[in-house]
Amino acid sequence: MNRPPLPDSPAPASPQATIRAIGRAAPQGRAGHPLYLKEMDYSIVQQCMHCGLCLPTCPTYDATKLERNSPRGRIALMRRIADGEMEVTEAFAREMYFCLGCLACETACPAGVQYSRLFEYARADIEHSGVLHTPRRDFIRTASLKVLFTNPNLLRGLGRLLWAYQATGMQSLVRRLGLTRLLPRKLREMEPLTPEVKPRFSDSLIAPVETPPAPPRYRVGLLTGCVQDLIYPDVNRDTADVLLANGCEVVTPRAQFCCGSLHAHNGELETAREMARRTLDAFDLDGLDAVITNAAGCGSHLKTYGHLLHDDPQYAERAARWDAKLKDIHEWLAAIGIAPPRPGIAPMRVTYHEACHLCHGQKITRQPREILRAIPGLELVELPESTWCCGSAGVYNITQPEMSQELLRRKLDQVAQTAAPIVATANPGCLVQIVAGLRERGCAVEARHPIALLAQAYREARA
Amino acid sequence: MEPLITDMIALLGRENVLFEPEHLAVYGFDGTAALSGTTGCVVFPRTTEEVVAIVRYAARHGQPIVTRGSGTGLSGGSIPLSGHLVLCLVKMNRVLELDEKNLTLLVEPGVTTITVSELADKVGLLYPPDPGSMKISTIGGNVAENSGGLRGLKYGITRDYVMGMEVVLPDGECVFLGNKCVKDVAGYSMKDLFIGSEGTLGIITRVLLKLVPRPQSRKTLLASFSRMDAAAETVSAIIAEKIIPCTLEFLDKITIRCVEEFAHIGLPLDAEAILLMETDGHPAVVAEEAARMEEVARKCGAVSVQIAQTAEESVQLATARRAAFSALARVAPTTILEDATVPRSELARMVNFIQGVGERYRLRIGTFGHMGDGNLHPTFLTDERNTEEMERVEKAMHEIFDYAISLGGTITGEHGVGLAKKRFLPAALGEGSLGLMKSLKRALDPQNLLNPGKMFDLDPT
C-alpha cells in the first residue's frame, strides 16, 4: 500500500538534530585574550599526541562525530590558543560549554593528558575574556556562583523556602494547575528537575563530634557538601552512621562552605581558590586521619586543592597535606576494611551507575561494588555502559538540556534493561538527574546512594 | 564565502559542510607526530551518490581531495595539504549486510574496526585485523592503509580480509570490485590495487569483508627477559620451531613502564623486555603450543613466563599492548613512531642496531612491536621544539631505515607512506617499482586530485 506523501509542514527538529546543531555552531565575531591557557604549564597540552583513542569514549563526539566536539579537537584548539595562533573565540567558548567535563577521556588516554586541568583553564579563559558576556548571563552567574554558592546561610535559607513551598503542597498544586506554564520557557523546562528539599539539614542531623561505642580506630572529618546538604542530608547522616559502625570517630564542622568545584568547573578559578581556603579553615587537619566526602563531583575537585593553591604561600603546604587525607567514602571504607553487615535487610537487586567524577575523576570503580556486594542478600547486576555520563554533569542539565536529556534517556534505557528495582550512584548530581528522569517516565525504580544502602543494611541487621 | 564552500553546501546541505576556523583547525592533523596542514573546507557525505557528486565536482574544478576517517593514521596520509578539501567518511557508517552463509560482512567505510570485530564476535566469527587504534579507526581507513595489528603473524593483515569494495574513481565513476566468491580470477585483481593505496587512487565507499570462525580457545603468555636480544632470539626460535602463534608482541623497558603506568596490570617493571605471546585454536593444540612456547622462551633465557589465568586477563594484556604507542607519550612531549620491518631471521640484529643508534645519537628510543612479523616500532621520545635534537632524530631515522633495507626489510610494515615516509620511499623501492606506481597513479588520476603529494610527488607532465 502506498502511503500518501506527508504534508509539507516544518517538522520539529529531533533532539539529535538539535544536538548536532549545537555541536556545529560556530558564531564568528567575538573574541578575547587568553590568560590561563597562556600561562599554564605547556607540557600538559603537549602531552596529547592526538592518537584519537579518547574519541569513542566522549559522549559529545559520539553524538555528532565532529572532531571539534571531541577531547582531541578541544585540546588542539586550546593548544592553538596557548601558541597565540588563535584568540578565545565565542565558538571556542560554546565548544567548551558543550563539553560535559565527564573526564571519560582521561580514563581512556594512555598518554595521561590531564584534561580536567585544561578544561578548567579553558573555561576560566572564556569567563576572563568575556566572549559569552550578556547582562542576563552575568546576572545569573553572579547571583548563583558568586552570591548563593559562596554563602552557606543564604543557600540554606533558600533551601528552607523551597522546602516550605514543597512541604505545604504548593508545588504540587502549582504543577496540577499547570501554573508552571507561566514561567519563562527555560525555567519551565527546568522545573521538573527541582529536587525535593529535606526539612532538616546535616547540622541538625549530625552532632559536631560523634564517637563510636567501642574505642575509635580512626578519627575522620566529614564533608557535608552544599547541594548534598539540602537535598540528601540523610545520605550525610548515613555516611556518619557507616563510619561509626566501622570504628571511626566523626567530626563534622558546622555550616560548611561549598568546596568550590562548581566554581572551578565553571570558569571561576579565583572564587574556587577562596572556597578551598574556607574549606581548609573549617577542618583541623592534624587531628584527623582522613577527611571524608560522599559526593563524587566534590571529591574529585577536593583532591586537587594542592594544585589549586600551590602558589598560595599561606595555604600551599596545608592544601598538599589535605589532598593526601581527602578520601571518598568508598575508597576509605575499602582501605580500612568494612565490618560486613549481618543478614536482616530484605533481599534486593541493585544496579550501579558510576558517577563520572568517581570512576573517571578519581578512578574509584572497584570499591563501591565491593561495598554493595558486602550487603547480605544484595544482588549486584552490572549496568551496561555504567561509566557513560548520565548528563547531569554539574549544571550541564540546565545549560545544555538537549544533550543532557539525550544522555539521561540512554542511561535510563540501560537501567531498565537490567530490570533492577534500585539504581545506586554516589553523586548528588547524578541522583537528582536520575530521580527526575525516573519520575518523568513514571518508572518505579528507586535511586539510592550506595552508602545509604549500606547504612540501611546495618540498621536492619538482625540483632 | 568561497565558491568551493557554497558549492559544497549546495551539494550536501549546510549541516554536512564545515568551514569555520574552529572546525578547520582540528582537521589539520591525524595521529602522526609533528605534521599538520590546513584545509579550507571539510565535507561529510552520507551516501555513495554524494561522494560521486563531490568527486565529479572536484574533477571539473581541479580541486584536490584528501579522504579521511577518524584521523588515527600514523604516516600523515589524511593530513590536508594547503587548500585541499577534506572528505570525511565517518558519517557513512552503516552496516549493510552480515552474510552468515558466506561468512562476509558488507559495511560502509565509516564503520569502526571495533564495530566490525564485535559484530563478528556476536555470531561466533572473527575479524582478525586489530590495529592499535581499532576502537576508533574506520574500516575504510584500514583498507586504504592496509592496516596490520597484533594478530598479523597467524591471520595476516587487512588485505587478507577484503573480498570486495565499491570505489569511486577520480573521474567520478563508481565501480564494485571483487565479490563473495572464494575463488575469482576473472581479470586483474583490481580490488588489491586499492588496498593500501592511501586514498590516492579512489575513494572506497563500501567494503565487503571476509570473516573466519572464531577460535575455540586461546592462551596468553607473558615472558620477561633481562636482555633485549634474548627476546628477539625467542621469537626467531619459536618460528624456527614451526609454531605460528597468533601474537608475538615485544615491549622494551621504557615501553613497559609507560604501559604499566596507564593500565596497572602488573607488568614486570624490572624486565629489560617482555614478550606477549598468544596462541589460539583447538584447545588441545593451544595447550601444546603454549607449553612449547614456554619451553622455548625459557631455553632462550626468559627470566619468567606467566600464563594468563582468565580470558579477561588475556584481553587486558592485549588492550594494554595496543596502548603502547600512546602511553609512550607520557615520558616526552613528542613521540615519533617508526615502522621498520625486517625478515624475522634478522630481528636480533635489527634490535641491537636500534639500541646502538640510540646511543650514538644520544636519543631516547622506546621500542615495541609485532616481533613475530618482524615489524618493529622504534619510537623516538623527543621534543619537536628542540630543533637540534630533531636533526639527530632525522639522521637516526635514516640509519634505521637504511639498515632495515640492507637486511632485506622495508621502511613501513603497516603505517603506510603518506607524508612521513615519502622521502624514504625511493631508496626502499628503487626506480622501476616507483616508476610503475607513478604510471598507475597517472593512468587512474591524470589530474592528480586524489590525495596529491602523498606517497610520492608526480613530476609535472
Question: What value does the mean pLDDT of chain B take?
Answer: 94
Structure confidence by residue, pLDDT tens digits, B44-73? 999 999 999 999 999 999 999 999 999 999
Residue B291 burial (10 A CB sphere; 0-12, 13-18, 19+): middle
pLDDT of A272 reads 97
Q: Residue B152's closest CA among B346, B378, B341, B353?
A: B341
- Measured between beta carbons, which residues in chain A are less than 8 angstroms from residue B114? 56
How close, in Å, is residue B291 to chain A by CA atoms? 32
CB distance from A48 to chain B under 8 Å? yes
Give residue-wise pLDDT tens across range B76-103: 999 999 889 999 999 999 999 999 999 9
What does the pLDDT average to over B394-420?
A: 95
By C-alpha distance, the chain B residue nearest A96 is B22
Residue A406 or residue B313, greater confidence: A406
The amino acid at residue B336 is I
- The cell numbers describing B226, all together, are 633481562
Q: Please give the pLDDT value at position A176.
A: 82
Nearest to A294, CA basis, from A430, A105, A386: A430
**Contacts of residue B22 in chain A, CB cutoff 8 Å?**
26, 68, 77, 86, 89, 91-92, 95
Task: Check: CB of residue B191 under 8 Å from CB of residue B318.
Answer: no
pLDDT of A168 reads 85
With beta carbons under 8 A apart, name residues in chain B contacting A86.
21-22, 25
Give the homologous superfamily in CATH for domain B217-406.
FAD-linked oxidases, C-terminal domain (3.40.462.10)
d(CA B193, CA B206): 15
> What are residue A144's phi and psi, to 5 degrees?
-85, -65
Nearest to B335 among A21, A49, A67 (CB): A49
Domain B3-88 fold is: 3.30.43
Identify the band that residue B461 occupies on the pLDDT scale cut at 50, 70 and 90. Answer: low
What do you get for the CA distance between the two ends of chain A, in Å? 70
Contact flag B25-A80 (C-beta cutoff 8 Å): yes
Residue-wise pLDDT for A60-85, tens only, equals 999 999 999 999 999 999 999 999 99
pLDDT at A12 over 70: no
Query: Which of residues B369 and A362 earns the better pLDDT score?
Result: A362
The answer on pLDDT for A1 being more than 50 is no
Which residues in chain A have their CB less than 8 angstroms from residue B263's CB? 110
**Which cell is A352 given?**
550501579
Same fold for the domain at B95-213 and the one at B217-406? no
pLDDT at position B422 is: 95
d(C-alpha B236, C-alpha B344), whole Å: 6
Q: pLDDT digit string (tens) for A145-175? A: 888 888 888 888 888 888 888 888 888 888 8
Q: Where are the beta strands (DSSP E) in B184-267?
A: 203-210, 212-213, 217-225, 247-252
Helices A329-336, A366-373: crossing angle, 10 deg rounding: 70
Q: Do A49 and B33 touch (CB under 8 A)?
A: yes
Residue A57 above 80 pLDDT? yes
Whether A89 and chain B come into contact, CB under 8 Å, resolves to yes
**Closest Cα of chain A to B432: distance in Å?**
35
* Listed range (A239-248, B58-67, B155-164, B375-384) with the worst mean pLDDT: B375-384
pLDDT of amino acid B260: 93
Listed by start position, the domains of chain B span 3-88, 95-213, 217-406
Report whether pLDDT(A192) > 80.
no
- Convert chain A into a string of H (helix), E (strand) and C (coil): CCCCCCCCCCCCCCHHHHHHHHHHCCCCCCEECCCHHHHCCCHHHHCCCCCCCCHHHCHHHHHHCCHHHCHHHHHHHHHHHHCCCCCEEHHHHHHHHHCCCCCHHHHHCCCCCCHHHHHHHHHHHHHHHCCCCCHHHHHHHHHHHHHHHHCHHHHHHHHHHHHHHHHCCHHHHHHHCCHHHHCCHHHHHHHHHCCCCCCCCHHHHCCCEECCCCCCCEEEEECCCCHHHHHCHHHHHHHHHHHHHCCEEEECCCCCCCCCHHHHCCCCHHHHHHHHHHHHHHCCHHHCCEEEECCHHHHHHHCCHHHHCCCCCCCHHHHHHHHHHEEEHHHHHHHHCCCCCCCCCCCEEEEECCCHHHHCCCCCCHHHHHHHHCCCCEEEECCCCCCCCCCCCCCHHHHCHHHHHHHHHHHHHHHHHHCCCEEECCCHHHHHHHHHHHHHHCCCCEEECHHHHHHHHHHCCCC
Model confidence at A6: pLDDT above 60? no
Determine contact: B261 vs chain A, CB below 8 A. yes
**B316 alpha-carbon distance from chain centroid:** 21
Q: Model confidence at A32, in pLDDT bands (50, 70, 90)?
A: very high
First to last CA, chain B: 33
Question: Is pTM, for the whole model, over 0.80?
Answer: yes
Q: Are B211 and B105 in contact (CB under 8 A)?
A: yes
Q: In this predicted structure, what is the pLDDT of residue A195?
A: 83
Mean pLDDT of B428-435: 93
Question: In chain A, what are the domains?
Answer: 26-129 (1.10.1060.10), 202-335 (1.20.1050), 340-459 (3.40.50)
What's the distance, CA A327 to chain centroid? 16
Q: How far is CA B308 from the centre of its chain?
A: 27
Shortest Cα distance, chain A CAs vs residue B132, angstroms: 9
A31 touches chain B (CB under 8 A): no
CB contact under 8 A, A49 and B114: no
- What confidence tens digit (pLDDT) does each residue in A87-119 have? 999 999 999 999 999 999 999 999 999 999 999
Task: Tell whether the model's pLDDT for residue A3 goes beyond 60.
Answer: no
User: What is the rounded average pLDDT of the residues A247-252?
Assistant: 98
- pLDDT score of A170: 82
> CA B224, B257, A110, A357 torsion: positive or negative?
positive
Contact criterion met (CB below 8 Å) for B139 and B111: yes
CB half-sphere exposure, B269, CA atoms < 13 A:
10
Mean pLDDT of chain A: 93
Residue B76, min C-alpha distance to chain A (Å): 12
For residue A11, the model assigns a pLDDT of: 61
Q: Inter-chain contact A111–B327, Cβ cutoff 8 Å?
A: yes
Q: At what angle do helices A71-82 and A90-98 cross, to 10 degrees?
A: 140
Portion of chain B with pLDDT greater than 90, in percent:
86
For B122, list phi and psi in degrees, rounded to 5: -60, -30
Query: Is B70's CB within 8 Å of A52's CB?
Result: yes
Q: Is the pLDDT of residue B252 over 80?
A: yes
In the stretch 253-282 of chain A, residues with CB closer than 8 A to chain B read: none
ipTM above 0.90, yes or no: yes
pLDDT for A10: 56
Spell out which residues of chain B touch residue A24, defining contact as CB-CB under 8 Å: 15, 18, 23
Beta-carbon separation of B327 and A110 below 8 A: yes
Identify the CATH assignment for B95-213 out of 3.30.465.10, 2.30.30.60, 1.10.10.10, 3.30.110.60. Answer: 3.30.465.10
Which of B349, B325, B323, B338 has its CA nearest to residue B412?
B338
What is the spatial distance between Cα A368 and Cα A331, in angstroms, rounded to a whole number? 8
User: Distance between CA A443 and CA A419 in Å, rounded?
Assistant: 11
